[in-house]
């Protein structure tokens, strides 16, 4: 048994070793969050807010909303980590806590490194100042001296590329010029930690390409990047690891592919269900039909859909089935999916033509086909009958968002009839880690050989 004289030096040595081990373990940690909670007080009346702030009431006159609840994560230096989740999951809240815009209600946080945050671009700009004056103002707010800003000034101006407008008051700028300058200031301060919240979609397509090039440059330089986006293609392409949030709670973290698949289930409220087979061996779509539920319940239907036709036939249900057999509007590029449509016939129709069209967000028809083009015999459908039409398709579209339209048409004699059309019915997101030029990937095989001298 050790006496206190022997025990105290040994205990001090143990504590010193533990402290040293902790310091070493923190050497490569950029961001560490432990049990972060953020609670907002929601008041039904303004006077209740006033009473509570002045301490004039002892009873609780508000309800508590957990924007974040006991969230922990560790991000190591050089990692690119994505955060995904549906709206209201707490993604922006956690970024604002990390950057100091908000304070956590509870929990601990440790940051190692200088942060540049692309959250609310241009939030610190003075609209009366010129662009150049705002560069110095914003740089000063970020902790840079005038000399340091001078060193980076040309890079900022080249990146923004707004020409002589930099000498004009910011209030005269178009929205595109404004975000270009704000982004240029934020991205060119050489941070150790870059925090991005949906900021890579600013400006026109050429400026977006420049932004992504800069993003890739940061990643190659080994910068730490925390990335929040609804663009799952970018999440899959750039991130080493992904955190999935839902209603302020961290559900899981792991590889981009696994987390995106979980997110897809979350979107259609299937996260805790077997999506491929149940105990009876039925597929999800068979089970879903047997339960008397509509396929379209899994999807967000366009509220401004263009719906027209004589309604001899009517599209009463639809669904998109991914490669795993689950309902999903998020499809992996290169995979095979199915778009299904259920039609009810109010009248007899001879040789109905079933159609599908895929358009981009700008309304351009990218591709489409119908049962007549594909030489599918549809015969005569009697009143009161239903038909289920399945369009099986390998998706080689570039990553991005698309709109699906469905229809049923035909001919009575030589007269063309539109029985029912639903334009821009539902969105479909193509998830890709490799995009090429144009709308479609040609799946080209390229070989390079040494030539003779």
The domain limits of the chain are 78-103+114-246+253-266, 285-431
What pLDDT does residue 23 have?
A: 47
Global pTM reads 0.66
Q: Of 417, 412, 408, whose CA–CA distance to 350 is shortest?
A: 412
Q: Do the domains 78-103+114-246+253-266 and 285-431 sit in the same CATH topology, yes or no?
A: no
Residues in the chain where the model's pLDDT stays below 70: 1-27, 120-124, 198-205, 268-292, 453
Contact 110, 32 (CB under 8 A): yes
Contact 421, 405 (CB under 8 A): yes
What pLDDT does residue 31 have?
A: 94
**Within 10 A of 25 (CB to CB), how many other CB atoms are there?**
9
What pLDDT does residue 278 have?
A: 38
Q: What does the DSSP 8-state code read for residue 452?
A: P
288 vs 116: CA distance, rounded Å: 47
Largest CA distance in the chain: 108
3-class SS letters over 13-57: HHHHHHHHHHHHHCCCEEEEEEEEEEEEEECCCHHHHHHHHHCCC
Query: Could you give the 3-state DSSP secondary structure of residue 446?
Result: coil
Structure token digits, residue 215: 């993003």
Percent of the chain scoring above 70 in pLDDT: 85
Q: Of 78, 87, 83, whose CA–CA distance to 98 is shortest?
A: 83
- Looking at 2.70.50.60, 1.10.3720.10, 1.10.260.40, 1.10.1660.10, the CATH number of the domain 285-431 comes to 2.70.50.60
What pLDDT does residue 264 have?
A: 79
- Looking at 3.40.50.150, 3.30.450.20, 3.90.1150.10, 3.40.50.300, the CATH number of the domain 78-103+114-246+253-266 comes to 3.40.50.300
Query: Could you give the 3-state DSSP secondary structure of residue 21?
Result: helix
């Amino acid at each position: 048994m050790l006496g206190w004289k022997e025990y105290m030096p040994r205990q001090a040595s143990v504590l010193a070793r533990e402290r040293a081990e902790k310091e070493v373990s923190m050497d490569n940690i950029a961001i560490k969050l432990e049990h972060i909670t953020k609670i907002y007080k929601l008041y039904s009346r303004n006077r209740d807010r006033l009473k509570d702030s002045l301490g004039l009431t002892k009873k609780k006159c508000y309800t508590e909303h957990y924007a974040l609840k006991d969230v922990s994560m560790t991000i190591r230096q050089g990692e690119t980590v994505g955060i995904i989740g549906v709206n209201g999951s707490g993604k922006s809240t956690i970024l604002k806590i990390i950057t100091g815009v908000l304070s956590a209600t509870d929990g601990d946080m440790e940051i190692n490194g200088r942060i540049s945050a692309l959250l609310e671009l241009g939030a610190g700009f003075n609209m009366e100042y010129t662009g150049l004056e705002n560069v110095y103002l914003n740089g000063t707010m970020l902790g840079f001296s005038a000399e340091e800003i001078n060193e980076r000034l040309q890079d900022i101006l080249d990146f923004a590329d707004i020409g002589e407008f930099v000498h004009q008051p910011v209030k005269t700028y178009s929205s595109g010029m404004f975000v270009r300058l704000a982004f240029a200031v934020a991205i060119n301060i050489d941070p150790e930690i870059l925090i991005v919240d949906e900021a890579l979609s600013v400006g026109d397509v050429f400026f977006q390409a420049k932004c992504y090039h800069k993003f890739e440059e940061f990643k190659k330089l080994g910068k730490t990047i925390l990335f929040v986006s609804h663009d799952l293609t970018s999440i899959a392409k750039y991130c080493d690891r992904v955190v999935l949030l839902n209603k302020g709670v961290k559900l899981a973290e792991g590889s981009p592919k696994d987390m995106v698949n979980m997110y897809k289930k979350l979107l259609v409220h299937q996260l805790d269900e077997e999506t491929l087979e149940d105990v009876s061996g039925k597929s999800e779509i068979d089970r879903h039909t047997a339960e008397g539920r509509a396929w379209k319940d899994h999807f967000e239907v366009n509220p401004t859909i263009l719906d027209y036709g004589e309604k001899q036939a009517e599209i009463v249900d639809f669904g998109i089935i991914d490669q795993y057999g689950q309902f999903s509007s998020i499809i992996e590029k290169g995979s095979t999916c199915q778009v299904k449509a259920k039609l009810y016939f109010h009248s007899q129709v001879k040789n109905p033509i079933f159609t599908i069209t895929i358009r981009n967000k700008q309304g351009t028809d990218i591709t489409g086909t119908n049962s007549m083009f594909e030489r599918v015999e549809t015969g005569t459908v009697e009143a009161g009958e239903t038909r289920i039409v399945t369009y099986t398709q390998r998706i080689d579209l570039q990553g991005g968002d698309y709109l699906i339209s469905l229809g049923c048409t035909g001919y009575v004699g030589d007269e063309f009839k539109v029985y029912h059309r639903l334009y821009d019915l539902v969105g479909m997101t193509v998830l890709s880690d490799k995009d090429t030029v144009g709308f479609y990937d040609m799946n080209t095989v390229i070989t390079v050989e040494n030539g003779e001298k």
